[in-house]
Structure 1
Amino acid sequence: MQKDMIQTLFIIIVLVIGLFFAFNYGKKTKNEVIEYKASQSEKTLEEISEQKSLDKPNRTPEFESLSKKAYEYLNQQQKYAEEEYGIGKYEKWFYDQETGLLTFSDNDEIKLKIKYESVGSISKISETWLWSWANEHLEQIVKSDIKKVKKYGEENNIEALTKRKWHADQYDGWEMTAISAYLMKAKGAYRVPTENTYSFMIFKDIIDLR
């Protein structure tokens, strides 16, 4: 009899302990709940802020006017570079950050050497534009003059020229390249495709070795 009572009492104790843990499992204190909600709120605000920081810049009438002039200028330069130097018809191209040279060759013989300035790049992954002056992975020799474009943007309140990174596609990349070519009086431009990016550059000088 006494043995049965002990067993019954033991079962009751186990059940009470089990119910206690089941009821309190995962239960947060009031302070923990407040802290959790606050952290989630902060995370959401950070995400919204980060997303907003990548919004495309405003297109003002001044920007549209500049863009039109820039495209007209670059189209003329591209046409001349193609007709005079045959750019786009060579077997191979190669660019070297350390020398700041873009070369074109046929039969392993270099035909053209071009001193270039990096303008920026489009990421195929994040679909964003990044100005070369904001890209710490580029050598200084290929981005030494591009800040002139940023300065122009600051002086004329053109956000697209001063915002380091924003959502963009290839058309935006070409537009920024055209504007840079126009402002820096470049002799042409080129887009270099890589696995994850499109890199845009403008020609500062063309050395004909043909």
Structure 2
Amino acid sequence: MLKQLVFYIIILTMFFANCNNRSTSKKINPLDTVSFEQLSKISCKYLKNQQTYCQEKYKIGKYERWDYDQSTGKLIFSSKGMQKIIIDYEEVGSVSLTSNTWLWAWGNSSIEENVKREITLVRSYGIKRGFKSLFNAEWSADIVDGWDMAAISAYILKAKGVYRVPGRDNKLFSFMLFKKITVIDSLPQKKS
């Protein structure tokens, strides 16, 4: 009887030790161990694949017109007065070729809250990892930096794609993430 009791105590001790090891061991998130350069490379590859898919499936870039509305969070592509694609978007940020700066959407007061809620997760990740370009609101940049920030954001947030919106003077470019893509073939385009 004593041998059985000792056996059960040993088994229970091993069981609880094993349970404690499982609860204290964390799964390592690959994003927590990459350098900024590795993150950029992974993200650019991810975005390239997403952009190719969007081009092939949705023909993004082939439509006559695009419009967006911050209040609804919709980016709309249309041709011949008919809406073709409606995309729920998240604003990433913008590059100014006048001031040669990048400005994150979360740091831009002219961007409405409903299109910049999720991008704050990229900022939080940047703070956690110490990647200054992800948590400083504004910094010296060019158009390549804009694409890099869009790619990293797309990768972290698992976006379906990115659209670069040119400003009227081609000196300011905004980057938008595709969150949800809906194909519409029969809705007439609103007249502005």
Tell me which amino acid in the other structure corresponds to 2:118. Answer: D
Question: 2:142 maps to which residue?
Answer: 169
Deviation track 1:94-139 (CA, whole Å, cap 9, x = no partner) reads: 1111111000001010000000000000112111000000001110
1:62-141, aligned counterparts within 5 Å?
Answer: 62-141=35-114
Q: Compute the TM-score of the two structures, normalised by the length of structure 1.
A: 0.70
Question: 1:181 maps to which residue?
Answer: 154
Question: 2:177 maps to which residue?
Answer: 202
Tell me which amino acid in the other structure corresponds to 2:83. Answer: I
Q: Secondary structure at the match of 1:202?
A: strand
In structure 1, C-alpha distance between the alignment counterparts of 2:126 and 2:97, rounded to whole Å: 26
Answer 1 or 2: which has greater strand percent: 2
Question: How big is the shift at 1:179?
Answer: 0.1
Q: Secondary structure at the match of 2:98?
A: coil
Deviation track 1:64-105 (CA, whole Å, cap 9, x = no partner) reads: 000000001000000000000010100100111111100000
In structure 1, C-alpha distance between the alignment counterparts of 2:104 and 2:179, rounded to whole Å: 18
Q: Secondary structure at the match of 2:124?
A: helix
Deviation track 1:19-38 (CA, whole Å, cap 9, x = no partner) reads: xxxxxxxxxxxxxxxxxxxx
In structure 2, C-alpha distance between the alignment counterparts of 1:106 and 1:185, rounded to whole Å: 28
1:144 maps onto 2:102 in alignment? no
Flag structure 1 segments of 5+ consecutive residues without an equivalent. Answer: 1-60
In structure 2, C-alpha distance between the alignment counterparts of 1:108 and 1:180, rounded to whole Å: 32
In structure 1, C-alpha distance between the alignment counterparts of 2:45 and 2:68, rounded to whole Å: 26
Flag structure 2 segments of 5+ consecutive residues without an equivalent. Answer: 1-33, 186-192
Aligned-pair identity (%):
50
In structure 2, C-alpha distance between the alignment counterparts of 1:73 and 1:170, rounded to whole Å: 19
Deviating runs (4+, > 6 A) in structure 1? Answer: none
1:45-56, aligned counterparts within 5 Å?
Answer: none
Q: Secondary structure at the match of 2:66?
A: strand
